Structure 1
Amino acid sequence: MMEGLPPVVSWPPLQTLMRLTLALAVGLFVGLEREWRGKEAGLRTFGFAALLGGMGGLLGPNFALLSLALLGVLLCFLNWQSLRANGGAELTTSAALLVTGFTGVLCGLGHTVTPAAVGVTTAGLLAWKERMATFSHKITAEELRSAILLAILAFAIYPVLPAQPVDPWGLIEPRAAWVTVILIAAIGFVNYLLWKMFGTHGVEVTGFLGGLVNSTVTVAELANRVRETSGRLLDVAYRGVMLATAAMALRNAVLLGLLSFRALVDSAIPLVLILLSSTGLALVRSRVEATPGAEPPALPLKSPFSLPSALKFGLIFLALQVVGTVGQTLLGRWGFYAVSAVGGLVSSASAVASAASLCANGTISPTTAGVGAIIASLASAAINFILVARVSEQRSLTLRLGRALGVVMLLGLVGALVQTRLPEFLPNTPGSPGLIEPHQP
């Protein structure tokens, strides 16, 4: 007796149509860029490749592998034809076709967000070819080494560090400290790359992005330019210093949010006041008093990530963490505030990271950590004012910045006072101005 054919696989029509439609949409989206560039594999080829992967995903793992193998054969013919025509292989298009085939398989298996995100990313990498090439050619050997060193410290050294405290008092945790060091350095390095890309388009961008990298270097250079030009860049320096102060507050807020979100919530009011007042005073002044023909200064910022800078951040962070813990144990939160003020004079980023780390470990309350971060930020602003007063040698600029930074510091202190009083008026608000009480057995 002749056996019958195997039963037909029952696929829900609507779900099947949705999966294949998504695969086709992703393929067409990526292929649109290749078609626009006049490549041999364009809109239709990418659409077919995504559909092939989608049907393979629907039929099962074996058919998915077969569809990708067939796509590999297609790529061999594509590159062979390209080599015969112009002597060059279509490596970028081939890689994009392979990725598109895999996204089709994901769509066939029922995934939605992942293939869509991969498709958008692929199209972006293809479309930003010129910008990425220009950016990579501008990177110096020192900056490339800095990026490689950052990766080594993050992925090679971090896993081998002890996760538990190494001292009898439980103050030094190498792995936790190293995470904070890498975080601070990575933020500075990314901001440095942004400054290189956009920092020459005006004093506003220069001052703000320079402040994200290193506000002290930015302010010192602006003041030095004022002295060299005999005061012709007073307005430029004023706006740059105020925007560098705003950038410093924004960077510290990001550090707080990444290391201890509760500490950021309990310091939101003063941080917002510092950020808005610094930015507002800079913009108002720039509209009222503009210096005709004033060129934005070229800041001599170097890559903030290197082995010496990483070790410096680590030593400052550990010192502040140890001294802050001892200070709050002996003198209460006022001892911790004093340590935060001194730390802000040296490195506000390290002081803020130390406060957030102590809060995350349960040593201090979120409100105490937030106030300590505000004090460190205001101390950094005070140091910037002292730098301008000593380096610029311009009394008018010193007075203008003194008034402006005085307003910023006053608003920050008022905001901190309001933030600490909020729990009294809102009983459900988390956090209290004191330290976390030790657990009672």
Structure 2
Amino acid sequence: MQSDFWPYLPTLQRLALALAIGLFVGMEREWRGKEAGLRTFGFGALLGCLGALLGPPYALTALGLLGILVILISVRAILFGRDLELTTSAALLVVGFAGVLAGLGHTLTPTAVAVVTAGLLAWKEPLAGFTGGLSVQELRSAILLAMLAFVIYPALPEEAVDPWGLISPRDSWATVILIAGLGFANYILLKVYGTRGVRVSGFLGGLVNSSIAVVELATLHRRAKHGLGNVVYQGVLLATAGTLVRNAVVFGLLAPRALVAAAASFALLFLPSVAFAVIGQRSDEEKSSDVPIELPSPFSITAALRFGLIFLAITVAGTVAERLLGDAGFYVASLIGGAVSSASTVATAAILTANGTLNPTVAGTGAVLATLTSIGINLTLAARVGADRRLTTRLALALGITVLLGAVGIGIDRLLASSL
């Protein structure tokens, strides 16, 4: 009978996958000298797989037996006066469930679970060190970001709430979450790697907020009695490069076609800013480059609401200007918006393109114009705060050429768009 046929090859494949999963996770536990190691995890995954192959009741029995094994491991640890192996026990249960999934014929899910489990076990020290280094404000920011994304966002209406179709709460809030999430992730990178020096801090600070990064760099230079001129020069240029990367990522995530339409402009802005930073490196000031910059956490309810209001204002202004004055109106709104927040302006252009309100080429040009305005604002901030004529002259030359090449990029992008 067909029901009596045993599919040998698929069964062996499922058993092999379960065994590989168990051994993969157990290898890390064995390396750390835990009570449950390579063989225990291999048997646990096989037990779950066999239970799934035999049927649901057996799968539940297998997981129950695995739970008893976890209890015995904990009791043994208590009797011998050792710490409870809670992490090992949890990993063993996860591997058992992964074995059940493998027995049911799943491949991607149990494999991904095994990789993530092994990663969490292997990265114990970095994760513990990172968590211990978080401030209360940073922890609250992470929780708040999750609330905005998973509690408030689903409750917002999807359609526009005004008669003119200008204000779409869910689209606006999604953009707030995206920018805030990128800013918070970049802040974490800055916290982890920013201690490597002004140059790294400048680039990562540009990913978070280029204006704040430039002010911090210029302040360091002024406090050092103009003794950090070269590294601050490089830091400001790399902060500009970081801003370009952030804006390109936002554009690419929200409106990939618009990013393609502005590819030459972004490339001709990014490359010279990095090139001038590399060319400007001098060995005689390397000893000063280990001074990090400090940025406040970029995420709070106030910052989120402020960004949301800015984004909403630029969206409404850009849409109205485009309807009344055409493309030129949107370009003017982009230039003005870039002076307030280039990230908001770029996100606005991307959302309008995604909604079909704006042509990708027009959106790309507007995003580049907003970025050019932001570069000009950063130069002004560096000049005023740093109060060093030589530094200002060097930055004006480098950023001036960068802006000029960005303008050339706009022309190239428009020529390419017209030829297609």
TM-score (norm 1): 0.92
* Distance in 2, Cα, partners of 1:204 & 1:393: 20
Does 2:416 align with 1:422? yes
Shift of 1:324: 0.2
Q: What is the aligned counterpart of 2:299 among 294, 301, 305? A: 305
Shift of 1:290: 4.5
Contact 2:198 2:292 in 1 (8 A): no
Which stretch of the first structure deviates more once superposed, 312-321 or 409-418?
409-418
* Distance in 2, Cα, partners of 1:332 & 1:221: 39
Partner of 1:351: 345
Contact 1:206 1:296 in 2 (8 A): no
Partner of 1:412: 406
Contact 1:20 1:54 in 2 (8 A): yes
Does 2:314 align with 1:320? yes
* Distance in 2, Cα, partners of 1:158 & 1:340: 27
Contact 1:181 1:313 in 2 (8 A): yes
- Could you tell me which amino acid in structure 2 is paired with residue 333 of structure 1? D
Shift of 1:424: 3.1
Shift of 1:53: 1.1
Contact 2:234 2:277 in 1 (8 A): yes
Contact 1:235 1:290 in 2 (8 A): no
Contact 1:235 1:289 in 2 (8 A): no
Secondary structure at 2:196's aligned position in 1? coil
* Distance in 1, Cα, partners of 2:286 & 2:346: 39
Partner of 1:201: 196
Contact 1:28 1:43 in 2 (8 A): yes
Q: How many residues align?
A: 420
- Could you tell me which amino acid in structure 2 is paired with residue 127 of structure 1? A
Contact 1:53 1:108 in 2 (8 A): yes
Partner of 1:364: 358
Shift of 1:246: 0.4
- Could you tell me which amino acid in structure 1 is paired with residue 274 of structure 2? T
Deviation by residue 1:266-313 (Cα, 9 ceiling, x = unmatched): 111211221222112111211x46514214443231111101101110
* Distance in 1, Cα, partners of 2:362 & 2:290: 39
Partner of 1:43: 38
Q: What is the aligned counterpart of 1:176 among 171, 174, 178? A: 171
Deviation by residue 1:320-359 (Cα, 9 ceiling, x = unmatched): 0000001111111111011111111111100101111111
Partner of 1:56: 51
Q: What is the aligned counterpart of 1:329 among 323, 340, 349? A: 323
Deviation by residue 1:141-198 (Cα, 9 ceiling, x = unmatched): 1111111111111111112222222222111111111111111111101111111111
* Distance in 2, Cα, partners of 1:372 & 1:60: 60
1:68-147 matches, within 5 Å, as 68-147=63-142
Deviation by residue 1:354-394 (Cα, 9 ceiling, x = unmatched): 11111111111111111111111111111111111112111
Partner of 2:378: 384
Contact 1:340 1:372 in 2 (8 A): yes
* Distance in 1, Cα, partners of 2:373 & 2:413: 19
Shift of 1:70: 1.1
Partner of 1:66: 61
* Distance in 2, Cα, partners of 1:162 & 1:119: 38
Contact 1:165 1:174 in 2 (8 A): yes
* Distance in 1, Cα, partners of 2:255 & 2:168: 17
Q: What is the aligned counterpart of 1:236 among 221, 231, 235? A: 231
* Distance in 2, Cα, partners of 1:96 & 1:170: 51
Contact 1:263 1:367 in 2 (8 A): yes
Contact 1:224 1:391 in 2 (8 A): yes
- Could you tell me which amino acid in structure 2 is paired with residue 54 of structure 1? C
- Could you tell me which amino acid in structure 2 is paired with residue 328 of structure 1? E
Q: 1:117 and 1:168, CA in 2 relative to 1: closer, same or farther beyond 3 A?
A: same
Q: What is the aligned counterpart of 1:401 among 384, 395, 404? A: 395
* Distance in 1, Cα, partners of 2:296 & 2:150: 24
Contact 2:77 2:85 in 1 (8 A): yes
Q: 1:253 and 1:7, CA in 2 relative to 1: closer, same or farther beyond 3 A?
A: closer
Partner of 1:433: none
Percent of paired sites with the same residue: 56
Contact 1:31 1:42 in 2 (8 A): yes
- Could you tell me which amino acid in structure 2 is paired with residue 125 of structure 1? L
* Distance in 2, Cα, partners of 1:319 & 1:161: 18
Shift of 1:205: 1.3
Partner of 1:439: none
| Larger relative helix fraction | 2
Shift of 1:408: 1.1
Gaps of 5+ in 1: 1-5, 428-441
Q: What is the aligned counterpart of 1:16 among 11, 20, 23? A: 11
Shift of 1:203: 2.1
Contact 1:262 1:366 in 2 (8 A): yes
Shift of 1:207: 0.8
Shift of 1:230: 2.2
Partner of 2:280: 285
Contact 2:361 2:417 in 1 (8 A): no
Shift of 1:87: 4.3
* Distance in 2, Cα, partners of 1:8 & 1:357: 55
* Distance in 1, Cα, partners of 2:62 & 2:98: 12
Contact 1:185 1:310 in 2 (8 A): yes
Does 2:149 align with 1:154? yes
* Distance in 1, Cα, partners of 2:41 & 2:5: 28
Deviation by residue 1:104-127 (Cα, 9 ceiling, x = unmatched): 111111111111111011000001
Does 2:209 align with 1:214? yes
